[in-house]
């Protein structure tokens, strides 16, 4: 297996996990919006980690999408708009999983969070595919 194929395989593992989180987020929208937004954040986080893996950029263990996004934009400035949008998902990693949540997200908020995560995942996937065509 070539080094490029190995990178693609490792990045693909992250993107597969992101896809699973998106499926969970979709299933939970009308049932548990607070759990849905968590899975949307997780999908975005894993997509960014997949991108960084593919680009061979080390990242720390974090849920902070601004930090991960900064690393990603350093490698690909064309991602900046969606990365800024995705930063808002960071709070969903923990804020709504504990009894002292600031409020309960509703279905509309969960739909928007999933839409952002989906756009980010799609953009990352496109970049990985186009890098492989070169």
Per-residue pLDDT tens digits for 88-127: 999 999 998 888 899 999 999 999 999 999 999 999 999 9
Q: How many helices (H) and strands (E) does the chain have?
A: 5, 0
Contacts 24+ apart (CB under 8 A), 88-92: 88/116, 89/37, 89/40, 89/41, 89/44, 89/65, 89/113, 89/116, 89/117, 90/41, 90/63, 90/64, 90/65, 90/66, 91/41, 92/37, 92/38, 92/40, 92/41
pLDDT tier, 133 (very low <50, low <70, confident <90, very high otherwise):
low
Q: What is the pTM of this model?
A: 0.94
Per-residue pLDDT tens digits for 65-86: 999 999 999 999 999 999 999 9
Whole-angstrom Cα distance, residue 29 to residue 55? 33
pLDDT at 131 over 50: yes
Alpha carbon 127 to its chain's center: 14
Task: Write down all domains in the chain, each with its CATH number in brackets.
Answer: 3-133 (1.20.120.330)
pLDDT score of 132: 64
Per-residue pLDDT tens digits for 28-70: 999 999 999 999 999 999 999 999 999 999 999 999 999 999 9
């Amino acid at each position: 297996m070539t080094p490029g194929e190995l990178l693609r395989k490792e990045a693909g593992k992250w993107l597969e996990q992101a896809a699973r989180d998106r499926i969970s987020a979709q299933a939970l929208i009308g049932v548990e919006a607070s759990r849905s937004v968590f899975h949307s954040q997780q999908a975005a986080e894993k997509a960014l980690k997949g991108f960084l893996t593919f680009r061979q950029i080390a990242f720390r263990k974090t849920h902070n999408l601004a930090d991960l996004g900064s690393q990603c934009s350093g490698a690909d400035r064309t991602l900046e708009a969606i990365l800024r949008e995705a930063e808002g998902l960071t709070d969903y990693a923990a804020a709504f999983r504990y009894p002292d949540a600031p409020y309960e997200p509703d279905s509309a908020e969960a739909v928007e969070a999933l839409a952002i995560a989906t756009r980010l995942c799609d953009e990352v996937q496109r970049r990985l595919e186009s890098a492989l065509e070169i």
